[in-house]
Amino acid sequence: MKIFYWVFLFLTLISCNKSLDLSTIELGETAEKFDLNQYKILQKREYKGYYIVDTINGKADISMRDNGILTTEYFLDTDESTIKKNFAHKLNYAGIPIDSSWGTKIIVYKNKIASLNIIAKEKYALDFADKLLRKLGKPTEIVSANQNIDKHKDSIVFNLFHKVFPAKTYWINKETQELSFPNIIIWNKGNKLHVLTLTLDYNGTIRNMYFPITQEAYHDHVVFGYHIPPVNGSPLAKYLR
C-alpha cells in the first residue's frame, strides 16, 4: 500500500511539473495538437455564447448570451494553491519566465486556438519582445510613445530598448531624459492579429502584454477585452473590422 501511495504521489508531481512553452501554442491551429488538458498548472473554464454590452441606467452592462457554441479558457489562476504556485515557473515563452501574478490565458473557440494573454516578468520584457520579433518577423506597425525617465536609469532603459528596437528608440530631449520608445507593436497576419504592448514608467520599469486574437474570435465577441470595438483613434481599429 505504501509503495502504491508513493508511486501515485510521484506520478502526480510529474504531471504537475510538466513545463509548457507558450511559444509552441500557435494561434489559429487546432487545439487538440497541443493537448492543453495535460498541464496541471492550468485551470479550465467553459462557457457558451458571446459577450454583449448593454446600457442600463446610463452605465455599460456586460453579459453573456448563450448561442450554444463552446469556448474554453485555460488560465493560470493568480489565486492558485501553494503547490501550483511552486510549479508556476514551469510556464514560459521560449525560455522567458512568465509573470504568474497576472492571468495567463489560452482561449479555444470552435476547437482552435483563438487568443492568448501572456505577460513576461518585467525584467525580461525586452527579451520577450525580441522572441516575438524573431518568431513573427517585421511588424506591420509600431506605435511610439514618449516618457521621461529617472536620470539614474535613463542609460539602462535606453540600451534595453535600443538593442531590440534600434530604429524606434531615441531621445526626444536628453537633458530631461525624455525617451521615444515602441509602445504598441502590431503584426497583422490576415485572419490573425498579434499585439504586444510595452509601457515605461518614470522609475524605469518596463511592463508588457502580448494578446493576439483571430479575426473570427474578435468578430464573434467571445474574448473578454476584445468584446467591444477599439475606441476611435486606436491603432487597432484599422485591423479589427
Taking only the tens place, the pLDDT of each residue in 192-204 is 999 999 999 999 9
pLDDT over 60 (residue 76)? yes
> Average pLDDT in the 147-155 region?
95
CA 165 to chain centre: 20
> Average pLDDT in the 91-116 region?
93
> Average pLDDT in the 81-110 region?
80
> Average pLDDT in the 160-174 region?
97
* pLDDT at position 4: 46
In this prediction the pTM is 0.88
pLDDT over 90 (residue 16)? no
Task: Copy the grid coordinates of residue 186.
Answer: 502590431
The confidence band for 84, taking pLDDT boundaries of 50, 70 and 90, is low
- 3-state secondary structure string, the chain? CHHHHHHHHHHHHHHHCCCEEHHHCCCCCEHHHCCHHHCCCCEEEEEEEEEEEEEECCEEEEEEEEEEEEEEEEECCCCCCHHHHHCHHHEEECCEEECCCCCCEEEEECCEEEEEEECECHHHHHHHHHHHHHHHCCCCEEEEEEEECCCCCHHHHHHHHHHHCHHHCEEEECCCCEEEEEEEEEEECCCEEEEEEEEECCCCCEEEEECCEEHHHHHCCCCCCCCCCCCCCCCCCCCCC
Q: What are the angstrom distances between the C-alpha of 104 and each of 99, 107, 168, 208?
A: 8, 10, 28, 12
The confidence band for 229, taking pLDDT boundaries of 50, 70 and 90, is confident
* pLDDT at position 125: 98
* pLDDT at position 13: 42
> Average pLDDT in the 112-127 region?
97
d(CA 114, CA 10): 34
